[in-house]
Amino acid sequence: MYNGQEYPMRIAAIKAADEQWASTYIKVADMAKAMGGRAYSTGTHIVIESGPEYVARNCKDSCVMIYAYQDYTYMQGSGWVYNGYVVTAKHVIEGAERIEVFPDDSIYGAYATVEYADPEIDLAVLKLDRDLGLPSVTLGDSDKLVEGQKLVAITSPKGYQNAIEECLYSGTALTDIGTLLLITEGKSLIGGSSGGAIFSLNGELVAMTIRGDEGSNTAIPINRLKPVLKKVIK
């Protein structure tokens, strides 16, 4: 069991000729997977990626930076790609006259229009004017989060693009939309991180951040967003 969840393990026993008792072991790949990472061979070495490294390698291309322009100024925000659309926090793009979306490590983006803005949840779905070929995130199950569980956020706070931040899930806040309270180990999830993706260590999206402060953040759990996404994104 790891982080309150059970994982299947294949246990083997080997008894060498000079040993009195057999030794038990589990596969390195199984252990790495249970801890939110992965193990692979380079031919000469066994490499074990930790959770944040695994998330960065597999999820960063699905995360974007957003510029929402209004009256000669702009708001910087974050977002993530789901089945060809960009999902972000509604307050990032409210009142915007022009919206630009930038993929990871790129100064060239695409224009976007608002496909849907939810009247109750801080959620907006954007449609790009051209296909950037960005992979979709994989949606997780936020109901399975365990207090104290480590998560990884990929957001674009002002001055940065797709910054990676470790978080701790600290429980569910008492609000009408059931937001999550996240305590960050750093302080980067502010000023531009709204709409950013929060992943479990196995690379599944479990929440979207909507508000940041010095050391704490609130985010909407993905299970709260799933019905809306299913309705809007076919």
pLDDT digits (tens, 9 = 90+) for 78-102: 999 999 999 999 999 999 999 999 9
Catalytic (active-site) positions = 91, 122, 194
Characterize the bridge pairing of strands 180-184 and 216-221. antiparallel
Residues facing residue 78 across a β-bridge: 65
Percent over 70 (pLDDT), the chain = 73
Q: How far is CA 171 from CA 32, 131, 222, in A?
A: 26, 37, 14
The tokens 């909407």 sit on which residue?
220
Characterize the bridge pairing of strands 73-82 and 85-88. antiparallel
Written as one letter, the residue type at 171 is G
Residue 234 CB contacts under 8 Å (≥ 6 apart), including other chains = none
What string of H, E and C letters represents the secondary structure of the chain?
A: CECCECCCCCEEEECCCCCCCCEEEECHHHHHHHCCCEEEECCCCEEEECHHHHHHHHHHHHEEEEEEEECCEEEEEEEEEECCEEEECHHHHCCCCEEEEECCCCCCCEEEEEEEECCCCCCEEEEECCCCCCCCCEECCHHHCCCCCEEEEEECCCCCCCEEEEEEEEEECCCCCCCEEEEECCCCCCCCCCCCEEECCCCEEEEEEEEECCCEEEEEEHHHHHHHHHHHCC
What is the rounded average pLDDT for all residues in the chain? Answer: 84
Q: Which CATH architecture has domain 138-231?
A: Beta Barrel (2.40)
Q: Is the dihedral of CA 219, 222, 228, 229 positive or negative?
A: positive
Among the CATH numbers 3.20.10.10, 3.40.50.620, 1.10.3480.10, 2.40.10.10, which is that of 60-135?
A: 2.40.10.10
pTM, rounded to two decimals: 0.80
Do the domains spanning 60-135 and 138-231 agree at the CATH topology level? yes
Average pLDDT estimate for 194-208 = 95
Percent over 90 (pLDDT), the chain = 55
Average pLDDT estimate for 126-137 = 96
Phi then psi dihedrals of residue 167, to 5 deg: -130, 165
For the cut 70, the answer to whether the pLDDT of residue 154 exceeds it is yes
Where does the pLDDT of residue 30 fall: very low under 50, low under 70, confident under 90, or very high at 90 and above?
low
Domain boundaries, the chain: 1-49, 60-135, 138-231
